Structure 1
Amino acid sequence: MHKVNSLIGPSVDAASLANACETYRLPLDLLSQLLTVRKRFEGGGNRRRLYQAFDTLLTGEASENPTDVSSSSEQVHGHVSLRQLAFKNWKVFASTAVSFPDFDPSEPVVLIGGKNGYGKTSLLEGILYCLFGKSALSERSRLLGEANVAGARGSAYRQFIQNAFHRPGKDRGETSASVRTEWNTPDGILVVERRWYFDDVGDMHEDDETLTLFTGADYHIMPVPDGAEAVEFYQSEIERRLMTVGSAFFVLFDAEQTSAFSEKNLDEQVRAVTEGAFGLWQLRATVDNLRSYSRDRARRQDRQGNEQSKVVSRLLELRQDENRLDQEKARVSGLLDKARAERDDGFSQLVNLQGDGTFASMHELLEQRQALSLEQARMQHEYTGLAASTLPIALAGDKLKASLLSALAADDHREDGTSTSFQNQAVLERLLQKMEELGGKSPDARPQIEQAWHALAGSHTEVSAALNHPFLTPSMRVAVRERLQRHRDDFAIFADVSAKLSGLVAQARETEEAIQQSSRRDEEIAQTKLKLTALHQKVEELERELDTYSDRSVAIEAEISCYRAMLDGDDQDGGDATVNRRPVDYALGLADKIELVSNELLPGCFERVSAIVTDIYAALAHKGSIARIEISSDGKVLLFDRGGKDVRSLDRSAGERQIFAMALIAAIGNLSTVSLPSIIDTPLGRLDSDHRERLLLYFSSRNVQTILLSQPEEINGRYLDLIRKRIGGYFLLDHHEVSNGVGSSVATSGYFNEVAA
């Protein structure tokens, strides 16, 4: 691995870096020297020393074999865990230390509880600034998109450290603060200690800071190679054995800051995180430094009347214009992508509304409603008639109907004039005698005739003189009897009519609902068409704006090429460019090459990030709406559902945005060559209960040390029960007031009182 990798970060593929440098004719050794110089003078409030170093380097006066401040060993592989923290006069800590339990994969979690203001964030910041000093401040500013200048200048860093000086210690006349971190690494124990020194009034000057590394169980000071600058060498060892400053913010992070980070555009998040984790931000910072150097030196030459400086100045102006155009193009391109996605969704919605075969036309629905209304009125009339005639008979019951039929039969019999003759015995005797005289019957037939006669007489023994229903004529009795005898058929007819009427009522209701739904659909179609018209106009406007920017970019690039050719021609006229090169235009050329190399490396970095972040997001998000996350070669984030549709344009909740940011951060942590611990301040933030559970389960299930800094009501109750079996240690930050609202915190064993699950 070339030493450039140790300067920008080991996550970058060494072969890809070497190939890119070869493609753009950028010597790796020269790139290494530029990075070394930039890191050496990084964050200085005055760039004079950096520009002087560039003068020496770019005029060919630098050593052909510059001192390599990085370790000659390869990046280590294996587990890293935090053994101990010690603070002296750092923020709320006057003097306290925390000794962590040995890392156990079955119990990787350490809980540190603390109320707001008791030192959770101070603890996290102490680790960051102990490891990276002023680089931590500039990297935080870059990652969160804050004013880069404020984060990079030494004055901002000095102000931060002066504010971090424990006030009671300052009042007591103490003159130093320190943070000491002790780590288990694959190379053994590594102790990093950074001290800051202050004058009598509490001010810190640029050189009032020391960084010391100790190794082994006996804590021997790590020796510095001959010719190497101690701080540079120690910093390179921290990055080799532990982490780079770019990856530190994805290992040690504040979830509240993650919330702020999550508000950034997804593409901006991905670029910021990827450039930080892979160290490419250092290449871009070097590009900015070289162009600023060229601008500064060109102004000096311009004041001396140098014509070439005017060319350089114009080139720098064009580069600034080009960068502004690139930013505007990226902004407009993002708006255009969103507008196109919204337009496509609108077209899909319109097709669904217009092409749904379950809807009849409004005219057909109105005709259907009229026909149903007429048929329902007719059926209602029939139903009413049946209800008045048939229904009462059907409901009277069989026993009552049988009694009525019997009474009607008796009335028929009473009106029969011969009914009393069969009861006269004398009449019977005269009948029999007459039959014998006529010879019609023998005496043997007499018993049968008498039996039949008496039977006829017996059927009328109970008949009285009065009729049961005298108001009925014989024909009416016949009609009533026939009606009663067929009542079962009438009841079936009534039931059939009732069912048909119910069906008509249901059809009418469905038709009315369809009419209302069709009316609403027509309104939606009209609104969707209006929305589509507006979106189409917006897309056309953005496309024209993007074309305008692209045309301007082409024009600027052509002008840049013209001015570059002028400078290249001057170099050729001047002879050997390696000897006679002018640092101003040479720096511009190098800046262009480094920028091209950085752009060449980014797609491969994006590809590695997208594969990991998909798996982690699936574990953290409780919704299954996103099945795959892709990052294109130009850094655009695409969110696909299970059907393969890009759903990025859909609005996501604040919790979902934070989950994406945390998934991205966790993914970057997985790219390191060592298994680094995660130290998370206020991990649950503004997440809902489902996301909280998933986040806790994810971070507690990994085979790395995980230190969670929690508020009292955050990891407690059921959330504490959820990960209890994975917790290997508990600590509590306790705070004591000293005077006038100023206090001091210490770390003790234990945790908050548990609340009900």
Structure 2
Amino acid sequence: MKFRKFTIENYKSFQFPTDILFPDSENGKSIFLIGGMNGAGKTAIMEGINFCLYGGKVEEIFRSINRKSLALGNASVSFELEIEMDDASPLIVRRSWSAGVIDKPKVKDFEERLVVVRDGKRVSVQNKQMWQDFIRATIPPGITQFFFFDGEKIQEIAADDHSEVRLKSSLEAALGIEYINKLSSDLLYLKQEERKGFVEISDEDLEFKESELKLQRSKITRLNKERDEVRDDLESFKTQNEEAKKRFQANFNVEPESRDAIRQIEKRRVQVANRLGQVENEIRILCEKDLPYSLLGGLFSGIRKQIECERESAQGEAIKENAADLAKRIVRVVEEPEPIYIERLSAEKMAELEKRISSLLREGDSRSSIKKILNISDRDAAKILQQMDELECSDIFLLQPLLEEKKELGVEVKKIESSLQSGVSSDSEKDIFEQLQSEIEGCTTQIGRKTEQLRILEEDILSYEKKIREIEIEIEKLYEKHNVSKVKADFISECDAIAGLLNQFVIRMRKNKVHLLQEKTFEMYKLLSTKSGLIKDITIDDKSFEIRILDRNGQEIKKSGLSAGEKEVFALALLWGLAQTSELKLPIIIDTPLSRLDSTHRDNIIRNYFPNAGEQVIILSTDTEIDNNYYRTLQSHLSGAASLVFNQKQEITTIKNGYFWEV
């Protein structure tokens, strides 16, 4: 497997999309050198490759967005890694995070997106988890620590005087023992699940269920027989009903009606007849009470007029009789309580005014002098007017609608009586009519009863059939449990055997791989260490993972007794040994590995480690680590070089072809 191109965008100082190409050398191996000063973005490249492959914490990535882009509202980060697989097929992994187009984006707005392109075909986003698992299986994250590391990782391992725990977990990750352990856990789970369902079934349990099944089947047999009988009865009543209807049609030439229908018609006839009697009674009451007076309704207006005229004439006569008194009262009103005129009238003029008013009142209104025909008192006149008002508002005016309703009811009664007597003229025909009606009605009743009885029976049959199926399933399960008890026991035994074999396999593999690890580690250590002549061997215990360094006399050299440079060289040799033991062909990415080493150890790493580290080696270095001399030493092994150029003013990193002095 080799990396062909890595693209980083909007992460830390890489504001714009930046492509880093990793070409091959002529011999197929490649060492690609990337130079950069501190803060130029070397660590960002290492982090970006890890984020692209495995994702990362949203908070950490959000904090690393390029500040200038974030200020402009571009809250997004993206990485893309093009990989050439061992079978030469291309694989592209593109992972990005974005908050979308929103103001003042926050961490919670960040959403991750993974796109995988394999063999030129983009994988559906819905398969994100599947392809994430594929990436993790192809490049296990627990192993990449042996392939992707920096100077700090080397120093961390070098400073660990008790590295047994770290070494054990690292070796198990390199060997894939975690997957074997997961398989052992799954076997244990399966065994426990089998034991949960491991129940002994006796013959008595089976016999009881068989007898219960037999009882239910006998019940359903009886119900089926009863259902067949009810179906036969139902068909018989339907046939009788049809024959009775045909005879009725033949005898009376009309469609037969049930007795209930006839009862309804008769009921309607009685209702109509009763209403007809009520209407006739109301008409009779109206005629007896108000009709004689209402016949005089045309004279009411003349009588009212005459009463009003006679009332006015009586009032005029009263005024004439009291003219003198009224004149005196009117004259006094002119002066009392206050005079109407400024100039008071003299007694003579007052007397003259009184005389004139009295004469005027005695003359009266000539129109009020009419001939008195009625000559009745005011009380009697009021009673007559009230009586005429009551007659005009009485129910006598409902007489016409009642007469019309009476006519309609009479027609309906005749129509109903005619329908009841249709086709029946003699007593014998009436008997036949009643007989056929009774027969049809009886058949209809029986059809309804049998239909309901049949419905209930079918529901009971369905219920029993369901119960029988449930019992059959229970019996089948009982037989399975009864018959497979030995199978389950054998399965549990096989789980134990497989778990034992896996354990033996892990022990043997660990022993063999530990032996290979110590060989490879010692092989690289001899190439890198300045004290290689003093050291005879490096051993690793396959149980405790304790590392022992032995001198030429077989005496142990404590790791704590090594210099800082020797410790780092040993850590680098151990990382190389773990990578070789894993037998995975992954690219090696090393970030600033020489910062704390002396010149002798640096020479050994440049000459012996980098050319043999792997099929593809990517080195991230400063100009003081791999300087001009070391560059010339490596040049024959290089497939290419690039430099990270950081613009202090714009705070942007760009990449250029060639190492520092070649740019």
* Range of TM-score over shorter length: 0.3 to 0.5
Whichever of the two has the greater Rg, that structure is 2
